Chains A and B, each alone.
Chain A
Amino acid sequence: EAGVVQSPRYKIIEKKQPVAFWCNPISGHNTLYWYLQNLGQGPELLIRYENEEAVDDSQLPKDRFSAERLKGVDSTLKIQPAELGDSAVYLCASSLFGQGGGDTQYFGPGTRLTVL
Chain B
Amino acid sequence: AQSVTQLDSQVPVFEEAPVELRCNYSSSVSVYLFWYVQYPNQGLQLLLKYLSGSTLVKGINGFEAEFNKSQTSFHLRKPSVHISDTAEYFCAVTPSNTGKLIFGQGTTLQVKP
The count of chain A contact residues (Cβ–Cβ below 8 Å) is 28
A31 to B42 CA separation, bound complex (whole angstroms): 21
The count of chain B contact residues (Cβ–Cβ below 8 Å) is 27
- Contact pick for B41, options A33, A105, A109, CB 8 Å: A109
A112 nearest CB across to chain B (Å): 8
Question: In the complex, what residues of B have CB within 8 A of residue A61's CB?
Answer: none
B residues within 8 Å of A by Cβ? Answer: 4, 31-32, 36, 41-46, 49, 51, 90, 92, 94-106
Are A91 and B106 closer than 8 Å at their CB atoms?
no
A17 at the interface (CB under 8 A from B): no
Q: Is the interface of A mostly helix, strand, loop or mixed?
A: loop
> Can you identify 11 A-B contacts, CB atoms within 8 angstroms?
A33-B101, A43-B101, A43-B103, A48-B100, A98-B99, A101-B94, A103-B99, A106-B46, A107-B43, A107-B44, A107-B45
Q: Who on chain A is nearest to B100 by CB? A: A45
A27 at the interface (CB under 8 A from B): no
Question: In the complex, what residues of A have CB within 8 A of residue B94's CB?
Answer: 101-102
B90 nearest CB across to chain A (Å): 5
Question: In the complex, what residues of A have CB within 8 A of residue B95's CB?
Answer: 101
Chain A 1-54 interface residues, beta-carbon cutoff 8 Å to B: 3-4, 31, 33, 40-45, 48
Are B96 and A100 closer than 8 Å at their CB atoms?
yes
Question: In the complex, what residues of A have CB within 8 A of residue B90's CB?
Answer: 42-43
Question: In the complex, what residues of B have CB within 8 A of residue A42's CB?
Answer: 4, 90, 92, 103-106
Q: Who on chain B is nearest to A91 by CB? A: B43
Are B49 and A102 closer than 8 Å at their CB atoms?
yes
A43 to B90 CA separation, bound complex (whole angstroms): 9
A41 to B102 CA separation, bound complex (whole angstroms): 12
B4 nearest CB across to chain A (Å): 8
